[in-house]
Amino acid sequence: MRLLLLSNSTNPGEEYLDYPKNNIREFLGDKAVNALFIPYAAVTFTYEEYEEKVNNRFAEIGHRVTSIHRFNNPVEAIENADAIVVGGGNTWQLVAMLQEKKLMKAIRKRVKKGVPYIGWSAGSNIACPTLRTTNDMPIVQPKKFKTLKLVPFQINPHYLDVNPANHGGETREARIQEFIEINRDVYVVGLRESTMLLLEEKELRLVGNRTVRIFHYGQEPQELTSKDDFSFLLQ
């Protein structure tokens, strides 16, 4: 499999998808591909607007996407795609739509056969076994929490170490500690902004200048860098 899983799409003060554009180009290669874009995580803007937003950046790296909503047969579109790109937004909405249109199995089958997969935020969440480590409010109710299970661990995108000033609620770490207390055999990767996970064949690497925080029941959280070995997450 080939996966590029980004924590976020945009850093403060930057254009949309600007920081990862060269990583995306390197991942997809120099040859233009028939990339299929899945915009279902969008809630407050249209799929057409989302597609245009992504294409404005992809044009800079010699690629483009076509949104799945333009196809009469979305399963067939997945079966013919040279790459699959899943945008961020609300993970619950994304999962509900993929389930409603019966696309989970089709995506998983294609990616397992080597079709490159790129996701950011919600798009990274659904590469995991479930959506249960998303930060998003459950604005809709999907049929089940299970997602693509392209990797055996969970991702928490946009991971933050502290709460905003004057906020008395739980920290992100506290929420993840609750998760691993109940799900004791599952690793959770706290993926900070500007970082991404790259999986090629059976090698998993961290890309970016920041560390990730790894959680597992019965262990102290670990801070790992791009120089560390992440193979334990795939076992």
Q: How far does CA 35 lie from the centroid of its chain?
A: 16
CA distances from 48 to 53, 91, 174 (A): 9, 19, 38
| Annotated catalytic residue, options 18, 82, 158, 226 | 158
As a 3-state breakdown, the chain gives helix, strand, coil percent values, each rounded to 5, of 30, 20, 50
Is residue 9 flagged as an active site residue?
no
Alpha-carbon distance of 43 to 154, in angstroms, equals 24
Give, as one character, the DSSP assignment of residue 184: T
Specify which residues 65 forms β-bridges with.
Answer: 35
Alpha helices in the chain (DSSP H): 21-28, 47-58, 74-80, 91-100, 104-112, 122-125, 172-182
Counting DSSP H helices and E strands in the chain, the numbers are 7, 11
| Annotated catalytic residue, options 9, 67, 136, 216 | 136
CB 27 within 8 A of CB 2: yes
Q: How far does CA 149 lie from the centroid of its chain?
A: 12
Alpha-carbon distance of 191 to 197, in angstroms, equals 8
Is residue 121 flagged as an active site residue?
yes
Alpha-carbon distance of 36 to 53, in angstroms, equals 14
| Annotated catalytic residue, options 69, 121, 124, 216 | 121
**Residues with catalytic roles:** 121, 136, 158
